Amino acid sequence: MIVRVSTRLGVIPLEFEGERLLRVWLPNDPEAPAAGPLLAEDGPEPEGLPGWVRRLARDLVAYAAGAPVDLNAWGERVDLREMTSFRQRVYRALLGVPRGETRTYGRLAAEAGFPRAARAVGGAMAANPVPLVIPCHRVTAAGDLGLYGGGTDLKRRLLQLEGALQP
């Protein structure tokens, strides 16, 4: 099922099935689904949503408003079993990077046990199905922000929101 969450960053669609979080789209992603119930702070809550989805939606709203929410904690809802062992290790290492910190592609590769795989880590970041939860915006190039699926302006805004960059 897909539900869309209205936040200060924009609408963030989520796809879930049962107890698993399958996908998160970044705000303003042209490929994001336009269908699905919209959860808004001041609107009615759709019936039948699991409690964990409602809590995740509240956390996304709070995060986008600047509250010190740890979205990494939602990583336990992501099923990594269908991914390559490389991506599983990289995503698990990235879930260990706390809010307010960043890692270079090279350092994350080393922390995941692949010290010479910085470029492959970049590929894993580009393929991340659940950005914000698996915080690929925290991975930077040596010397600059690096690329981001939501664009460098959104990446900069997220890192400023988390205190990893000064405004």
Which residue numbers are catalytic? 136
- Rg of the Cα atoms in the chain: 15
Nearest 5°: the CA angle 30, 166, 134 is: 45
Query: Are the CB atoms for 37 and 4 separated by under 8 Å?
Result: yes
Instruction: Locate the DSSP E strands across 20-145.
Output: 20-24, 38-39, 103-104, 139-140
Q: For the chain, give the number of residues.
A: 167
Instruction: Locate the DSSP E strands across 18-163.
Output: 20-24, 38-39, 103-104, 139-140
Q: Measuring CA to CA, which residue among 42, 134, 29, 72 is closest to residue 13?
A: 29
